[in-house]
Structure 1
Amino acid sequence: MEANPSIMLAHTSNLRMNLLSRLHLALSSSLLWTLCGVASLSLPAQSQDPNSFGHQSWSTENGLPQNSVHQVFQSTDGYIWIATEGGIARFNGVDFKIYNPESTPEITSDDICCFTQSDTGPLWIASSDGLLQYSAGTFRRYSIADGLPPNRITNLATADNGSLLLLTTEGLVSFSGSRFSSISLPSFSIPSAITKAHDGSIWITSNSGIFQYLHGRILPLPLSSTSTPKDIQSIGFLPDHSLWLRTGTSLTLLQNGHSRTLTTGHDLPVSRIQSVLAGSQGVLWIGTDRGLFALDKIGNHPQSVSALGSDSILSLTQDKEGNLWVGTETSGLQILRPKNFRTIPGLSDHLITAITQASDGAMWVGTDGDGLDRLQSGNIQRLSTHSGLLSETILALAPGADGSMWIGTPDGLNHIESAKIRTYTSADGLPDDLIRSLLSDEDGSLWIGTRHGLAHLQNDRFVTLTHSDGLGSDLVGALLKSHTSNSHDLWIGTLDGLARLRDGHITTFTKKDGLSGDTITALAEDPHGTLWIGTKGASLSALTTTGFISLHRNDLPKNIDSILQDDRGNLWLGSSRGIIRVSAAALIKCGLLSTCDPHPVSYGRVDGMPTEEAVGEGHPAAWRTTAGLLWFATRKGVAVTDPTHLAENLVPPPVVIERFTVDGVDMPLTSTEQRIAPGHTSFAFEYAGLSYVAPAKVRYRYLLEGLDQRWTDAGSRPIAYYTNLPPRHYRFRVQAANNDGIWNETGAQIVFNVRPPFYRRLWFLPLVLGLGAVVALVLYRLRVRRLQSQFQAVLAERNRVAREIHDTLAQSFVGVSVQLELTSQLLAHSQTDAARKQIDQTRTYVREGLAEARRSIWNLRAITAQNSLPTRLTRLADQWSQKKLGTHLNISGTYRPLAQPFEDEVFRIAQESLANAARHASATQVSVELRYDATRLLLWISDNGSGFQVTDGHLSANGHFGIQGMRERAAQIHAQLTIESSPGKGTTVTLEAPITEGKEAAVNA
């Protein structure tokens, strides 16, 4: 789109007026266009020569996808969008981001036509095969399937009702956001161009007139038959709301009743006009197939812009900062920036040492090896040794009376007056031939700084002051005569301090007195009487009524070679880092406080300087002319600026966050708070300040709310890093300042929340306490269960011991007791022999009881048995057989060892059964059968004794617990014990015990 100029609306009724004597507007009902203002296409006074603009270009070598630029457009967020035949490029002033079919699936064609955007809507992009919508970092494509006509789109515009107008090869189409609709012009007119006016309406040109699209209606603006040229390709508005109309070979300006038509081959030495833009400064820019032209007044001749040469210009756009963007057909993207400095032709190859202005207005420029130049009325006169100078290396200049000039060289002093040159050397009284500085006094005398002191030339006599007279050093540099103090002090810069000559007395000041440094390189005095002192390596100092102030700041150059002041109270400091402009009052106010920003502005090559090395090896290295211009010596010529007409950039730069990564992974750039999972350590934020006047001079500061206490000055670094952020809510904010120090204090921000690990969340502590309580309860219950188990084990052991005692010691003691009673009776009847036999039998019982006791004690100490169950039963059967109890033992089945406690219980049951049969049932024969089955062990014991009546009461009758013990033992091994008996029929004891793998495993363990 070529231009977005403005037009004024006025509502009246049934009126017609003549538009610039050719354009007649006939509007229905109450709408009338009134074009106001004096029609003068004039350049404002502060505007610059079109050829004084700075120029920069980008092509495919710099990242542009393709060199044919069809349109350049600035979106509402500040980005520059470039339509090429190789895709879309988005530019932030430093880097291009490319969108094409390879990187973006929604883009199906590389051939991009144009852009448009409303103040609050998305960005619309037309390509050769469809329509694209870009919003919040995502693309959406509209094609024929969505209702888009198949015709090629040639231009776009957003209307006042929010709809989108598409100019296609077959007509106009409106898009409401949901459906496409064709728009028909009256009388079957064919539209050829559209543009948007300031009021939001769309102006449409056609083969039969001009129309206005307003509030969804087409309003005809008919022209007379000779009012406009045919085949209009674009339309636009001049700053005073007048019209321009472009065809391929002509440009018509309709202004205040007058018109002018520029044609190719006559007014423009070109074949085709391809784009037009009415700039904000009043210049009409004309892009052609053979370069760019500028028209500053309607009656003037278009002027060629030499910076672009004969490049074919396809599109023109001006951004919010006033930069002119130029899209070319083969040379890529170009930009023209307003420059604050200009150079002097003819001096660009010279290393300038000193500059001054004579009383006749002529400028004198000294060089290093190229002599002396005098500039006046555009003419340059060069003086050298051939003209009578002692040397072609000029170290110092000072204006004399009546246009004369004093020149200091390494070989002596020169005085030029009325084209005559007079020379002075050490032979004439100079302390040294190398002249470092000169100063003309009001009384006509001359002060001369040398390596061997300060010389004063008055009435052709030299008087020299040296270190012995109070100078800090004999090496004298900058000189300044104060005009604000009553005593008219002479200030002398030396290698070792600043000296003041007052009433014939010299006082020297050094760092001990408050100076930032002792090597003085530049001196200047402002109207308020403040003395500004430049130093080498220690920046700037100031002497006020309260004393010296050291201004050794990081935002000022360390080496200052020249100091000038303009009428606005700004200091201009020349250094090897360029030229710095800063407010003198702000410097005094801030002092050395790093938190205080005096907003210094730096100038370099991008501002028109020939080089950033504004270093003059002589004095004075800078000069303010009587017209207020500032001249600075550089290593590549002279840099000149007008401080009253600076192209200041007062537009705060839009700030965008382009990338947010967590451990190298891209996060979405949304306005809502993002949740970051715990465990991440590295956070990076990439941002950009979208200022295009001097992108390299954009400065940043950022703050991470939730962590940082104050802003971090990032300088020109467009990225911020953080590591190991504690879990909490954060807001990252970034602000940017443009080249003139104007800050966008709103900036950009992104909000995120680093989630804590689960063990640091609020619910975790109650959960841990609850789990701890559950674990404690479980442990308590396990402890109680273990104690109960131990108690049961002790109780079971006690019962087992009781059974052991009953089955062994108790039976033995009973037998002993019976034998002793028999012995007692026999002795009572004097049957000594029988009593002796009973005593022997008693001894046998005692020995047997002791053996059983020892065996029980051994079983208590050693859990394992010495023999298997069959062996032990065989031994038991043999013992009872010897006691006249016939015992028959039968063992069957497949033997396998079982757990020792299991076999012990079976053996004790068998032992108890045999003992009962012999002692209580008086049996003579007992049959014992032990059978091993696959899953059970069967023990069967049958005797021919007296038998008994099996009842529960009988179990513990008379304190006998044998049968009760047998049942308990059977229960210990989960066996079934059956006792069958009746009086006179003997007793049968059956034990059936299950055999499991567990028991067998226990044996082997």
Structure 2
Amino acid sequence: MEANPSIMLARTSNLRMNLLSRLHLAMGSSLLWTLCGIASLSPPAQSQDPNSFVHQSWSTENGLPQNSVHQIFQSTDGYIWIATEGGIARFNGVDFKTFTHETTPEITGDDICCFTQSRNGPLWIATSDGLLRYSAGTFRRYSIADGLTTNRVTNLAVADNGALLLLTTEGIVSLSGSRFSTISLPFSSIPSAIATAPDGSVLIASNSGIFQYLHGRILPLPLSPASTPKDIQGIGFLPDHSLWLRTGTSLRVLQNGHSRTLTTGHDLPASRIQSVLAGSQGELWIGTDRGLFALDKIGSHPQAVAALGSNSILSLTQDKEGNLWVGTETSGLQILRPENFRTIPGLSDHLITAITQASDGAMWVGTDGDGLDRWQAGNIRHMSTHSGLLSETILALAPGADGSMWIGTPDGLNHIEGSKVRTYTSADGLPDDLIRSLLSDEDGSLWIGTRHGLAHLQNDQFVTLTHSDGLRSELVGALLRPHISNSHDLWIGTLDGLARLRDGYIKTFTKRDGLSGDTITALIEDPKGTLWIGTKGAGLSALTTRGFISLHRNDLPQTIDSILHDDRGNLWLGSSRGIIRVSAVALIKCGSLSTCDPHPVSYGRADGMPTEEAVGVGHPAAWRTTEGLLWFATRKGVAVTDPAHLTENLVPPPVVIERFTVDGVDMPLTSTEQPITPRHTSFAFEYAGLSYVAPAKVRYRYLLEGFDQNWTEAGSRPVAYYTNLPPRNYRFRVQAANNDGIWNETGAQIAFHVQPPFYRRLWFLPFVVGLAAVFALLLYRLRVRSLQAQFQAVLAERNRVAREIHDTLAQSFVGVSVQLELTSQLLALSQTDAATRQIGQTRAYVREGLAEARRSIWNLRAITAQNSLPTRLTHLADQWSQKKLSTRLNITGTYRPLAQPFEDEVFRIAQESLANAARHANATQVSADLLYGATRLVLTVTDNGSGFQLTEGLSANGHFGIQGMRERAVQIRGQLTIESSPGNGTTVTLEAPITEGKEAAINA
């Protein structure tokens, strides 16, 4: 596949667009050569050595669905999309997400051809079985049923009018909106390749020439037949708008009115050209069946890219950061990243201890156990004990005069001058044979750091400074003679502080004076005179005009093995974590404040270093050459960089939120706020910064608006967790920085709303208050009803007691009263015997009254035949008959026992009726009829008394008999009828309903 359409759209030339739109009128070849000559108006960009790249690869073992990569495409959101014969892969720099027929039903064919996308449109994917549209995480398939002439699509391009052009096996089809239409080329030409031009038009190569699709019209490009090869399989533009045309065996470039043709077998050691890419710096990358080649200039010879070997290259693209992506036929996905470090081949795989540059420009490199190497202009001279060195382990180096070199070893000191090697040991006056550091002074003398003090070699004489001379520790490490602040001072790094030798006196500075640590490992003076001090385990310190500054920072290494500076004001710190570049001014400004970011940049294997362990056990462990290059000692050779020509990544990385889960359940990644139901406790956000220069160095920070007060620095962790979020509105925001510390401050965000439980919603409190009010009202009403029921019960009981007293005690007392009056009259007449009999009868009345009272009050009666209603009425009739009131009782119907309260009420009504007939009506005869009906009980009491007017009050003269009778009738749901008139007697009729069985309906 050919160059990425989105990259070719990046450079638009209005002049060229106007010229091309008139080519179909001019029909002359001169205009096209003029068009190609526009490139001469701007100088070409400096190209990069095709082999100065860091290489990395991925295959099916790393998650790729299949190893034949037909196209690589970077979408507008920053993802890398890979088309393979086994499906689609989307890459974020760390992980692949695959889309195949098994996981995505819309993909009916896993053989993927290519991609394209407009600036803000969906992603279009061509397959062997139709066209796919990907937008907002979903796929849609277009096929013959939707208007396609065939499902076999071989290439795609987006035109300036937004139309999608599809190159199929049966011609070109245009898709506008949802409508497909066929585009016919002039002269019945058969199209073979399409590509989007920088002006937005689409170039179409065919068997009869090249055409331009512009504003919906087909315009022929008037190229001469000699410049237009047959069987064009690819077409595109260089950044200077030069045109290139590719066939299976040749590549033709039209530039500045000239053309050049590269052919396989002659210019390219391959049999087939399969892909071409115009790089951002004007170079051409050529993928063949025998590897990848680079052409930096039109007249130069293609250079093979050794990192890819002889892999068959199917596709090429360049992302927004300048990384070159390569798709191979059998080896999966490859990437070539511009490297900022290089190594020296002859010095690789050695544990480097010390580096320095001699006065003649040669670089001297000491190793741990592999001797000493002198490197100059690519030539290496190796020295060892066979050359006269005291040891194969080199611990210190210092340049001498006239290209000579001082070498410190565990067994003494060497001086190499030309081919002569001179040795010095403790026998010659050294305080110790183990030499840890060396420093050549301006007067030609040599300072030597040992385990037993600091020695000064001058005029072949050794003078040693020890603890007695003011050194706190005799274990001496790094040495420095400042050239800007004060050239008369000598700074001495020791195991117990930083010592300064001035005018013969030594003063030692420690943590009490502001140093971050007492074990000094590295010293350097920057162009502003600031002294930078590296320590072991305590970070970096600086000595300025204000005194010592301790820099305890988590974004800097704590153990610093070497320090260098460049001409741009940066410090370079070597450590076991790699090499860190940071601005000296920013460090002084920020100090140890964690809220201030000096934007340090780290370098490691991804930048071309042989290893991240830039650890040198000797001195100096790093060196700045006279050319400005920086050399660092590592455990696998030297790492060399040029600070003046760094490839800096100034592209802020796109940030995407890849997954949002609530209690492990995926939520949709929408731009609108989405509700989260209550009772969820765990929230997780997975995100990615889409930078491919060094994905492992992408840093993140996130903020949950509505919960967090400040940004959380997440480092390289691509996930954030929250638990037990209170109900409210939230917005999760995440930002990312690339390997050079460039932040995308827009970042990505997702909004959601945690809904409160029902008991915390606004309507719930009024509802509870209302419910409580209703409940209180209900309780109040129940209480009132209870009180009313109690009152009614008390009132009923009082009425019952009143009736009982009236019908029992009152009647008995009246009888007793009558008997006592008779007794009194008999006694007055001296009829003692009659009075005695009367008194006996009175006693019987009293006993009967007491029995009635007890029975009424305690309601203690046994329900037996002797206490049934007929029995009691018969007994009552007999009593009144004995009182000279002829009483006839007639009981009819089918007798059955009824509820005791029911019978009591009937009996009391009959009792009151007989009493009224005897006492008030002066009756002599009473007829009582009791009828047991099927559903009703009828009691009729008729007397021959004086009668009365029914209009008279029921309680006239203080008597309440009739009123009590009516109340009793109501208690048993009966109806009481009284018929009477003066002189005609009285008839009392009671009709009460009775139920089946022994119970009657009684009102409570």
TM-score per shorter chain, which class? over 0.9
User: C-alpha distance in 2, partners of 1:558/1:442?
Assistant: 33
Mapped partners of 1:381, 1:317: distance in 2? 42
Counterpart CA distance in 1 for 2:789 and 2:936 is 28
Gap change, CA 1:151 and 1:732, over 3 Å in 2 = closer
1:84-139 deviation per Cα after TM superposition (whole angstroms, max 9, x unaligned): 11111111111111111221122111111111111111111111111111111111
Output one character per residue of 1:782-820: Cα deviation in whole Å (capped at 9) or x when no partner: 333333232222222221111111101111121122223
Give 2:867's match in structure 1, choosing from 856, 867, 871. Answer: 871
Residue 922 of structure 1 deviates from its aligned partner by 4.5
When residues 120 and 15 of structure 1 are mapped into structure 2, their CA distance, relative to the original with a 3 A threshold, is closer
Partner SS, residue 192 of structure 1: strand
Match of 2:40 in 1: 38
**Residue correspondence of structure 1 range 817-966 to structure 2 within 5 A:** 817-859=817-859, 865-867=861-863, 871-873=867-869, 874-875=871-872, 877-878=874-875, 880-881=877-878, 884=881, 890=891, 893=894, 895=896, 898=899, 901-916=901-916, 922=923, 927=928, 929=930, 931=932, 933=934, 936=935, 938=937, 940=939, 942=941, 946=945, 948=947, 951-953=950-952, 955-966=954-965
Partner SS state of residue 775, structure 2: helix
**Displacement of 1:26 after TM fit?**
7.6
2:359 maps to which residue? 359
Question: What residue is the counterpart of 2:93 in the other structure?
Answer: 93
- Take 2:222 and 2:284, find their aligned partners in 1: how far apart are those partners? 26
Unaligned runs of 5+ in 2: none
Shift of 1:942: 4.5
Paired AA for residue 959 in structure 2: H
* Closer, same or farther: CA 22–694 of 1 in aligned 2, 3 Å: farther
Indicate conservation of the 8 Å contact 2:158/2:196, yes or no: yes
Question: CA contact under 8 A between 1:913 and 1:989: conserved in structure 2?
Answer: no
Do the aligned partners of residues 16 and 684 (structure 1) sit closer, same or farther apart at CA in structure 2, a change above 3 Å counting? Answer: closer
Asked whether the equivalents of residues 898 and 997 of structure 2 are also in contact (C-alpha less than 8 Å), the reply is: no
Gaps in structure 1 of 5+ consecutive residues: none
Alpha-carbon displacement from aligned partner over 1:156-200 (angstroms, at most 9, x marks no partner): 111111111111112111110121111111111111111111111
CA distances 1:669-697 after superposition (whole Å, capped 9, x unpaired): 11111112222211111111000001110
Shift, 1:149, TM fit = 1.3
Point out the more displaced range, 968-977 or 776-785.
Answer: 776-785
1:733 aligned partner, one-letter code: R
Match for residue 382 of structure 2? 382
Q: Distance in 1 between matches of 2:895 and 2:549?
A: 115
Distance in structure 1 (CA, Å) of the matches to 2:338 and 2:28 = 36
Moved more, 591-600 or 923-932: 923-932
Deviations 1:209-257 (A, max 9, x none): 1111111111111222212111000111112111111000001111112
CA contact (8 A) 2:36 2:257 kept: no
CA positional deviation for 1:779: 3.1
Distance 1:1001 1:65, change over 3 A: farther
Pair 1:799 & 2:804 matched? no
Could you tell me whether the CA contact under 8 Å between 1:239 and 1:282 is conserved in 2?
yes
Q: Summarize the alignment of residues 285-304 of structure 1 with structure 2, pairs less than 5 Å apart.
A: 285-304=285-304
For 1:487 and 1:107, locate their aligned partners in 2 and report how far apart those are by CA, in whole Å. Answer: 74
- Kindly state the Cα deviation for residue 915 of structure 1 after the two structures are TM-superposed: 3.9
Asked if 1:592 is matched to 2:592, the reply is yes
Q: Across the two proteins, how many residue pairs are aligned to each other?
A: 989
Looking at structure 2, the residues matched to 25 and 999 of structure 1 have their Cα atoms a distance apart, in angstroms, of 123
Q: Which residue of 2 aligns with 1:970?
A: 969
Matched AA of 1:878:
H
- Matching residue of 1:567: 567
Summarize the Cα distance change of 1:26–1:633 in structure 2 as closer, same or farther, 3 Å threshold: closer
> 3-state SS of the aligned residue for 2:952?
helix
| 1:953 CA drift (Å) | 2.6
Residue 847 of structure 2 aligns to a residue whose secondary structure is helix
Instruction: After TM superposition, give the deviation of residue 309 of structure 1 in Å.
Output: 1.4
Greater mean alpha carbon deviation, residues 875-884 or residues 644-653? 875-884
| TM-score computed with the length of structure 2 as normaliser | 0.94
Which residue matches 2:13? 8
Q: Is the contact made by 1:17 and 1:24 (CA closer than 8 Å) also made in structure 2? A: no
Give the AA of the match of 1:225.
P
CA 1:840–1:945 in 2, change beyond 3 Å: closer, same or farther? farther
Alpha-carbon distance in structure 1 between the residues aligned to 2:997 and 2:98 = 77
- Tell me, yes or no, if the aligned pair for 2:973 and 2:992 is still in contact at 8 Å: no
SS in 1 for 2:38: coil
- How many angstroms apart in 2 are the aligned matches of 1:788 and 1:390? 121
Cα contact 2:163–2:174 (8 A) shared by 1: yes
Tell me, in whole angstroms, the C-alpha distance in 2 between the residues paired with 1:113 and 1:813.
Answer: 124
Which letter does structure 2 place at the counterpart of 1:718?
P
Distance 1:240 1:119 in 2: 22
User: Using a 3 Å threshold, how does the CA distance of structure 1 residues 869 and 482 change in structure 2: closer, same or farther?
Assistant: farther
Secondary structure at 2:474's aligned position in 1? Answer: coil
Q: What is the Cα deviation at residue 9 of structure 1?
A: 3.9
Name the structure 1 match of 2:667.
667
On the 8 A contact 1:928/1:941 being kept in 2, the answer is yes
CA distance in 2, matches of 1:870, 1:954: 38
Task: Report which stretch shifted further, 818-827 or 292-301.
Answer: 818-827
Q: Write the mapping of 1:638-649 to structure 2, written as runs, cut at 5 A.
A: 638-649=638-649
Q: Which residue of 2 aligns with 1:136?
A: 136
Identify if the C-alpha distance between structure 1 residues 836 and 108 changes in structure 2 by more than 3 Å, giving closer, same or farther.
Answer: same
Instruction: State the 1:312 CA deviation.
Output: 0.9
Q: Deviations over 1:588-630 (max 9, x none)?
A: 0000100000011111111111111000010000000111110
Offset, 1:771: 3.2
Contact 2:877 2:889 in 1 (8 A): no
- Among the aligned pairs, what percent are the same residue? 79
Higher mean displacement: 992-1001 or 191-200:
992-1001
Counterpart code for 1:884 = S
User: What is the letter of the counterpart of residue 952 of structure 2?
Assistant: G
Partner of 2:313: 313
* Equivalent residue number for residue 623 of structure 1: 623
- Counterpart for residue 226 of structure 1: 226
Contact 2:698 2:739 in 1 (8 A): yes
Q: Which shows bigger deviation, 797-806 or 647-656?
A: 797-806
Alignment-derived partner of residue 494 in structure 2: 494
Q: Work out the CA distance in 2 between the residues paired with 1:26 and 1:557.
A: 58
The structure-2 alpha-carbon separation of the partners of 1:22 and 1:534, relative to structure 1 and needing over 3 Å to count, comes to farther
Q: Name the amino acid aligned to 1:60.
A: T
Pairwise CA distance, 1:929: 3.9
In structure 1, how many angstroms separate the alpha carbons of the residues matched to 2:865 and 2:199? Answer: 116
Shift of the alpha carbon at 1:537? 0.4
Distance 1:903 1:290 in 2: 123
Q: Work out whether residues 913 and 941 of structure 1, in 8 Å CA contact, stay in contact via their aligned partners in 2.
A: no
Residue 242, structure 1, aligned to residue 242, structure 2: yes
Higher mean C-alpha deviation, range 911-920 or range 668-677: 911-920
Describe the SS at the equivalent of 1:553.
coil
CA RMSD of aligned residues (A): 2.7
Question: 61-70 or 911-920, which moves further after superposition?
Answer: 911-920
Going from structure 1 to structure 2, the CA distance change for 1:902 and 1:106 (only over 3 Å counts) comes to farther
Q: In structure 1, what residue type is equivalent to 2:601?
A: V
CA pair 850-151 structure 1, distance change in 2 beyond 3 A: closer
Listed as ranges, the matches of 1:254-269 within 5 Å are 254-269=254-269
Q: 1:438 aligned to 2:438?
A: yes
Which secondary structure state, in structure 2, belongs to the residue aligned with residue 567 of structure 1? coil
Partner of 1:749: 749
**1:713-761 CA-partner distances (Å, limit 9, x unpaired):** 0111111111111111111111000000000000011111112222222
- Alignment pair present for 1:713 and 2:718: no
Closer, same or farther in 2 for the Cα pair 1:349/1:840, shift >3 Å?
A: same
Contact 2:942–2:987 under 8 Å retained in 1? yes
- CA separation of 1:23/1:866 partners in 2, compared to 1, >3 Å: closer, same or farther? farther
AA aligned opposite 1:123 = L
Q: Partners of 2:127 and 2:268 in 1: how far apart?
A: 32
